[in-house]
Amino acid sequence: MQAWDADRAQARIRELEHLPGALLPILHALQEDFGYIDAAATPLIAEALNISHAEVHGVISFYHHFRQKPAGRHTLWICRAESCQSMGCEKLVEQVEQRAGIKIGETTPDGSLTVEQVFCLGNCALSPAVLLDGQPYGRVSPNVADFLVDSATRPQ
């Protein structure tokens, strides 16, 4: 992940603008590179796809996955859907919030960890499930949750 860079963003947009329905692939590419979609990207995308700023903004704000402000170096997704509820994910959420000192949707003050909720990671036979930086963890015990938070928030 790197800091916002308009030239880099422009290059990513160029790579993808030819695709039919290119907007979501472009937004995914920008979030992959920068961890979020900077407001400065909106006019670049609108220009490339010949759509209005409002249309671009409307799409960014519609989808839960797209962030409009920078995220931490690590991202922890906690599943809060029914299957994980049946195995106590709400306690897990409380514990993670306490351990990291932030609420769901927030980033730790040192910028190390963002914790977000998702609805289903497709690991429902091994609930409760989380994903840390794309790595899946199943049957997450309190110890494992603490370990994941600690390893993500350890000073670099």
Partner 1 sequence: MSVKVYVPRDSAALSVGAEGVARAIAQEAASRNLDVTLVRNGSRGMFWLEPLVEVETPQGRIGYGPVSREAVGGLFDTGFLEGKSQVLCLGPTEEVPYLKEQERLTFARCGIVDPLSIEDYIAHGGYRGFKAAVALEPQAIVDMVQASGLRGRGGAGFPTGIKWNTVLYAKADQKYICCNADEGDSGTYADRMIMEGDPFVLIEGMTIAALAVGATQGYIYSRSEYPHAFRVMQRAIEIAYENGYLGANVAGSGKRFDLEVRLGAGAYICGEETSMLESLEGRRGQIRPKPPLPALEGLFGKPTVVNNLITLASVPIILDKGAEYYRDFGMGKSRGTLTIQLAGNIKHGGLVEKAFGITLHDAIYKFGAGTASGRPLRAVQVGGPLGAYFPESLLDTPLDYEAFIARKGMLGHGGIVVFDDTVDLAKQARFAMEFCAIESCGKCTPCRIGSTRGVEVIDRIIANENRTRNLELLDDLCELMTDGSLCALGGLIPLPVQSAVRHFPEDFDKPATSPGLLDPEALKSNRPNLHKETHPWR
State both tokens at 126: 């091994």
Burial 126-151 (b: 16+ CB within 10 A, else e): ebbbbbbeeeebeebeeeebeebbee
10 versus 120: smaller Cβ distance to partner 1: 120
Residue 71 has φ and ψ, to the nearest 5°, of -105, 175
Please, what is the minimum distance in Å from the beta carbon of residue 79 to partner 1? 8
Q: x/- string (CB under 8 A) for partner 1, residues 91-130?
A: ------------xxxx----------xxxxxxxxxxx-x-
- Which of residues 81 and 156 has its CB atom nearest to partner 1 in the complex? 81
Between 1 and 120, CB nearer to partner 1: 120
Element (H, E) at 32: helix 23-34
**Residues 16-75 within binding reach of partner 1 (CB under 8 A):** 20-25, 27-28, 49, 55, 58-59, 61-69
Q: Give residue 112's Cα distance to chain centre.
A: 13
CA distances from 8 to 3, 40, 109 (A): 10, 12, 27
CB of residue 155 vs partner 1: minimum separation in angstroms?
25
Write out the residues near partner 1 by the rule CB under 8 A. Answer: 20-25, 27-28, 49, 55, 58-59, 61-69, 77, 79-87, 90, 103-106, 117-127, 129, 131, 134-139
